[in-house]
Structure 1
Amino acid sequence: MMRKSTSYVCIRCSGSCLSVLSRLRSPPISDWTSKFSSRAALKSSSPGLLRFDASRSDAQLSYDRDTGIVWQIDAGSGSESSRSRRIRPLYQTIIGIEIHAQLAIPTKLFSSAPTSSTSANLHVHPFDLAYPGTLPSLSHSAVRAAVLSASALNCTVHKTSRFERKHYFYPDLPLGYQITQQRWPLGSEGLVEFDSWTSPQQMKQKQVEQSKRGGGDKKRRRGNKTRDGANADSNQLQPDEEFSTINEKQEPVQLRIERIQLEQDTGKTTTHSVTNNNTKIYTSRIDYNRAGCALIEIVSHPDLRSAHEAAGAVETIRRLLRHVGSCDGRMENGSLRCDLNVSIAPIAHCFEDSNNSELDVLRYLKETRCHRTSLPYDTGHRVEVKNLNSLRQIIAATEYEALRQSASSICNNPTGRETRTFLVKPVSSKYPLGGETFCIRSKGDAVDYRFMPEPDLPPLVLDGTTLGYDDEVQSLEEYICDVVPESIEEAAARLSKDYKLSDEVIRVITGDPPAIALLDESVNIAKKELSILMSHFDEKMPMEDKIDSIPTLTANWLCNDLFALVKRSALEGKDDSSALGGTNDDELSSTLNHPISVEYSTVDGKRLGSLIAMLIHGSITTSMAKKILSIMYKDDLFSTPQEIAEVNKYQVISDMNALVELCESVVFDPKNASQLEQYKLGGKNVWKIEKYFVGKIMEQSRGNAHPEKMKEALSMVLGRI
């Protein structure tokens, strides 16, 4: 909220310098759109950038998804480049997140009703429907999953926590209150470190740009000369080089977790419309299957500053919860939902002595990075945007709110505290963000939830009885260390050190926790079986080189071929035309046969490792291996790769005498007499004849001929002509 005082305090030092700066001059209110919600045009100017057109002025506002800065743009410029149109930075977004993650346990939090999805209102318990006389019974599985989640987020796990009632009335809450842990949470003071979110398209574009620059920049820097002919200082960057350095080499973002608490989920409300006598009637139906399911609410501090940072934080927390197995992270099914708290802070006064360039903004962001633990001066009221279920919605809602609040602030009509939701719309010129936020209730008056201790539940004490360990042998800290799996960072470091995998392959594998275990098992099996196969092979072969190639080859087959089969199985029989157009698997249709994870693969690590061993040994070719993998996944769920190869006669012909006979039968076949005569005549097109013979030999051998040895045998046969 922009105050009416005529001074600002510098936020680079959180107000400690008390430097007085002049007030930002806003244009007259008649020159601006007074209400952003009137759907003034939002135009997409470039990937990662949107601008706001005022209805009565040439002035525009744009939002940068990467930095979270709201810019004023010169609408009179004829250039289409968004960066060249920027005039000055006006506001910085301040973002906090609240994540509701449904725990992956078989029963509900306080009852024995199952959590598996089925027809509406089938899996309900008298307690979840508030039947008189029913009492809660805490699920120990939920407590263990919550402890795992808190540990994964580096939270302090409290040995004793308490439940309390949060009173409010809504049809999907039969009890009239929610059992939660608002004041005495299970965990607190956590920390998550992550990189700002980047779309796959932007990632590929950056890789292309970096490969194009390559060593050219270094070569040019070595040749830089000053005006007097002397070499320039190698440590002093030119403006364009400094912009590239600051923009591309960002430090990881740190997000503080305020608390993590156990609580009940509510029922699921669906709205249906019926048209009768030209009258459209809306009815709401409630499914109580979800009521009472175990949730953890993860509340962060407002440490985020951009839409991409918010998306990166949610994606990282989702991956961590999936990694420890406490939540499946399926945002499209509502297993993980996100609420955003968005506000803006004026920053134009920080650039009055600069030329308002992007380099100045990046320097400012770098200088203020260490002050994120405190809110900037004059930060406006926070607006809560509820129930976002995809990364795309998180980014779009942040952008929309930043522009809406900025436009209102410029009009001297700052927004107040309110709760909004994001209404999804088809992407069009009217809705370039794919939707808009709208108010569902105002928070002008503080809501009194009448928190009170839950009288039917004792304090939650984390001991051996609750968590299932021996108090006399282990402490709580030792138990947590034993049950928490290897972290994503530790797994990535191990895969890089032990297996020498590329960063891209590691990112794909660690993105699906079951893939890490499958890779380890496959590599171990492949090494054992390759050693057995090599011991029965007569020729000398570079054993160490083949063993060293196992991890890389296994990872490539896992990331490419096996993941492709899993995805095809998930989408089989579905209309996936729209699903495949999303930016990641979270935005796929909720009607998938199963999640896209190797957890649902019918090929385990043992069979994949055996296949890799056969491929490296040379018993089968790559094309044979692909066919065998497809058969193992779809048709034969129990046979080993060796058995499938034997049944289908997938066996490489590597004996030199047999290959020579095969080559002779093709070369001297009367059907190929004309090609043989052309080869005898020689000339520059001889290689085409050799290629023709190779194709015929592979056709006759049904692809079983060893490629390299077959070419060697063909050279021997043709050499005798």
Structure 2
Amino acid sequence: MLDLTYENPKPKVIAGAKQDWELVIGMEIHAQVSSNAKLFSGASTQVGAEPNSNVAFVDAAMPGMLPVINGYCVEQAVRSGLGLKAQINLRSAFDRKNYFYPDLPQGYQISQLYHPIVGEGEVLVELSPGVARLVRVERIHLEQDAGKSIHDMDPNMSFVDFNRTGVALMEIVSRPDIRSAEEATAYVTKLRQILRYLGTCDGNMQNGNLRADVNVSVCPPGQYEKYQATQDFSHLGTRCEIKNMNSMRFMTQAIDFEARRQIAILEDGGSVDQETRLYDPDKGETRSMRSKEEAHDYRYFPCPDLLPLEIEQAWVDEIAANMPELPDAKKTRFMGDFGLTDYDANVLTADLDSAGYFEAVAKGRDGKIAANWVINELFGRLNKEGLTIAETPVSSVQLGGIVDLIGSGEISGKMAKDLFEIIWTEGGDPAEVANARGMKQVTDTGAIEAAVDEIIAANPAQVEKAKANPKLAGWFTGQVLKATGGKAAPAVVQQLVAQKLGL
């Protein structure tokens, strides 16, 4: 946890027509495990392959084919649990979740309802400087993904692609600790950041590699506190689950609509039905998908094809000993080592590649200057060009070279921006480019003094004005810089102007 003092935000109150309401949200995040092979087969998890080309016999539920657990997927789940400060269960077991759907060839999904591999953990979600929500994680369990139904290739037919069938998922289940749509997206963002740092999920929501089921309910103010005291969910109101959210913007819209839909029903004297709903982004509304099933509706029972999964504490300890530095710890270190503000440290640690790039630039240099150049100049240009940090044409070594030239006073801020543009478009060593193009500042006081004397001698009226109002001395600085083609060191010019004018 960050070495800072945090204050929990107050719950967001939604004003209703007859009374006020509070929003309560719990989330089930399905994160695809970063693994080259599926959970129970050696079939590839490659994205974008030809339909039904990455399907093993066991994925297609061919008779007599038995699942074999992928040990690396287990390791990734343990690593994720450790990253969320969660309890790792040395004994877990797999169950069959039975339901029929065309993209589920077995007629059941292998999951972990009763004995998950990871127990209770937590995610610290920073909402603003000094304000954070601690979201409790109830469990993480491993399960296999289903296939994909395709309905838009032919208006008269539907197709099924089994490439995703059997891909390993981690279902990360939170407690109902989230109190607004903004907190929900902040929670998903932070969780995705942690998983990316760990290397256990790439967090690509566009490809469906990370998606969320959002449970939404509303209750009168004060009821949530009763739930906390009693752990009785009835205080929180009937929840509806919004399935398969893979966009932060749509998630916010869906939660806001669903909360107001439930409030309208309750204030009209009705009752909210517990159900599963889908969000229609075109209409900006949720719609009913099916009534919400309970565990017994899926006829869960222990998977007879898989023995209980038993792991050793020594193995867990070995994984823990090789954990990477996580976002909160890196942010704290950046603030301490480089003197960064909370905001700058947040920006620079949001992505692991960005953090690594910045640290390479800042090593042995002024951290604040390095942060300014990475955030404002580099990130600004990357965003403009639609590039990622991995695609930047300016390496950390090159940007570090520009920062060195600024720090030594060899180039001014304006020269540095011109130099950055040249390096961006043409490449090269910054020091060599600056030398070859005559971009370095003139620091020879003799040459600068001659230019100052000439400007002062040619403008006696302006001299009198500057002596009467020292703020006008900047005019002379500007004229000298103009006369020297912007190459005179501004600090030297200012010092000489003040000296010559007796200011």
TM-score range, shorter chain: 0.7 to 0.9
Alignment-derived partner of residue 107 in structure 1: 37
Alignment-derived partner of residue 446 in structure 2: 657
Conserved in 2, the CA contact under 8 Å of 1:68 and 1:307?
no
After superposition, residues 466-545 of structure 1 pair within 5 angstroms as 475-526=314-365
Question: 2: CA distance between counterparts of 1:601 and 1:191?
Answer: 35
Alignment-derived partner of residue 318 in structure 1: 192
Conserved in 2, the CA contact under 8 Å of 1:66 and 1:306?
no
The CA deviation at 1:610 is: 3.3
After superposition, residues 6-25 of structure 1 pair within 5 angstroms as none
Please give the per-residue CA displacement for 1:294-330, whole angstroms capped at 9, x wherever unaligned.
Answer: 2111012223333333333223222222232222323
Instruction: Give the alignment partner of residue 383 of structure 2, picking from 567, 586, 604.
Output: 567
The CA deviation at 1:377 is: 4.8
Alignment-derived partner of residue 3 in structure 2: none
SS at match of 2:206: helix
The CA deviation at 1:552 is: 1.4
Alignment-derived partner of residue 263 in structure 1: 143
Establish whether residue 121 from structure 1 lines up as the match of residue 1 from structure 2: no
Establish whether residue 707 from structure 1 lines up as the match of residue 462 from structure 2: no
Please give the per-residue CA displacement for 1:502-527, whole angstroms capped at 9, x wherever unaligned.
Answer: 1111221222233333333333243x
Alignment-derived partner of residue 78 in structure 1: none
Establish whether residue 450 from structure 1 lines up as the match of residue 299 from structure 2: yes
Conserved in 2, the CA contact under 8 Å of 1:329 and 1:336?
yes
Instruction: Give the alignment partner of residue 343 of structure 1, picking from 189, 210, 217.
Output: 217
Amino acid at match of 2:145: D
Conserved in 2, the CA contact under 8 Å of 1:70 and 1:406?
no
Which deviates further from its counterpart, 378-387 or 453-462?
Answer: 453-462
Mark the CA change 1:601 to 1:479 in structure 2 (over 3 Å): closer, same or farther.
farther
After superposition, residues 54-453 of structure 1 pair within 5 angstroms as 67-73=11-17, 88-89=19-20, 91-118=21-48, 120-121=50-51, 123-127=53-57, 128-132=59-63, 134-195=65-126, 197=127, 252-272=132-152, 281=155, 284-345=158-219, 347=220, 364=222, 368=225, 371=228, 374-375=231-232, 377=234, 379-425=236-282, 435-443=284-292, 448-453=297-302
SS at match of 1:479: helix
Which deviates further from its counterpart, 312-321 or 381-390?
Answer: 312-321
The CA deviation at 1:135 is: 4.6
Question: 2: CA distance between counterparts of 1:662 and 1:683?
Answer: 19
CA RMSD of aligned residues (A): 3.6
The CA deviation at 1:630 is: 4.0
Question: 2: CA distance between counterparts of 1:482 and 1:604?
Answer: 31
Which deviates further from its counterpart, 327-336 or 283-292?
Answer: 283-292
The CA deviation at 1:178 is: 2.0
Conserved in 2, the CA contact under 8 Å of 1:416 and 1:444?
no
Instruction: Give the alignment partner of residue 614 of structure 1, picking from 395, 401, 405.
Output: 405
Which deviates further from its counterpart, 310-319 or 690-699?
Answer: 690-699
Alignment-derived partner of residue 350 in structure 1: none
Alignment-derived partner of residue 462 in structure 1: 311
Question: 2: CA distance between counterparts of 1:321 and 1:504?
Answer: 22
The CA deviation at 1:97 is: 0.8
Question: 1: CA distance between counterparts of 2:69 and 2:432?
Answer: 50
Question: 1: CA distance between counterparts of 2:498 and 2:14?
Answer: 68
Mark the CA change 1:644 to 1:330 in structure 2 (over 3 Å): closer, same or farther.
farther
The CA deviation at 1:687 is: 5.6
Question: 2: CA distance between counterparts of 1:566 and 1:184?
Answer: 46
SS at match of 1:100: strand
The CA deviation at 1:616 is: 0.7
Conserved in 2, the CA contact under 8 Å of 1:565 and 1:633?
no
Conserved in 1, the CA contact under 8 Å of 2:481 and 2:490?
no
Conserved in 1, the CA contact under 8 Å of 2:477 and 2:493?
no
Please give the per-residue CA displacement for 1:401-426, whole angstroms capped at 9, x wherever unaligned.
Answer: 2222232233343122211011102x
For structure 2, the 5+ residue unaligned runs are 1-8, 467-471
Amino acid at match of 2:96: R
Mark the CA change 1:107 to 1:445 in structure 2 (over 3 Å): closer, same or farther.
closer
Question: 2: CA distance between counterparts of 1:123 and 1:444?
Answer: 33
Please give the per-residue CA displacement for 1:316-354, whole angstroms capped at 9, x wherever unaligned.
Answer: 222222232222323334221111112233x3xxxxxxx
Give aligned-pair identity as a percent. 33
Conserved in 1, the CA contact under 8 Å of 2:101 and 2:107?
yes
For structure 1, the 5+ residue unaligned runs are 1-64, 74-86, 204-248, 275-280, 348-360, 426-430, 464-473, 527-549, 572-592, 669-674
Q: TM-score, normalised by structure 2?
A: 0.83
Conserved in 2, the CA contact under 8 Å of 1:265 and 1:293?
yes
Instruction: Give the alignment partner of residue 626 of structure 1, picking from 406, 410, 417.
Output: 417
The CA deviation at 1:455 is: 4.2
Conserved in 2, the CA contact under 8 Å of 1:628 and 1:641?
yes
Mark the CA change 1:256 to 1:690 in structure 2 (over 3 Å): closer, same or farther.
closer
Question: 1: CA distance between counterparts of 2:412 and 2:106?
Answer: 64
Please give the per-residue CA displacement for 1:247-286, whole angstroms capped at 9, x wherever unaligned.
Answer: xx86x43322121012222334454388xxxxxx475444
Please give the per-residue CA displacement for 1:420-457, whole angstroms capped at 9, x wherever unaligned.
Answer: 011102xxxxx6xxx11101112378763233434444
The CA deviation at 1:390 is: 2.6
Which deviates further from its counterpart, 299-308 or 690-699?
Answer: 690-699
Q: Which has the larger radius of gyration?
A: 1
Conserved in 1, the CA contact under 8 Å of 2:43 and 2:56?
no
Please give the per-residue CA displacement for 1:543-580, whole angstroms capped at 9, x wherever unaligned.
Answer: xxxxxxx11111222222222233234x2xxxxxxxxx
SS at match of 2:29: strand
Conserved in 1, the CA contact under 8 Å of 2:217 and 2:236?
yes
SS at match of 1:141: helix
Instruction: Give the alignment partner of residue 645 of structure 1, picking from 434, 438, 445.
Output: 434
Alignment-derived partner of residue 672 in structure 1: none
Mark the CA change 1:617 to 1:487 in structure 2 (over 3 Å): closer, same or farther.
same
Amino acid at match of 1:257: V
Question: 2: CA distance between counterparts of 1:462 and 1:658?
Answer: 75
Question: 2: CA distance between counterparts of 1:289 and 1:658?
Answer: 72
Mark the CA change 1:265 to 1:445 in structure 2 (over 3 Å): closer, same or farther.
closer
Please give the per-residue CA displacement for 1:78-137, whole angstroms capped at 9, x wherever unaligned.
Answer: xxxxxxxxx632x43332110011223333333444434335427513243444555544
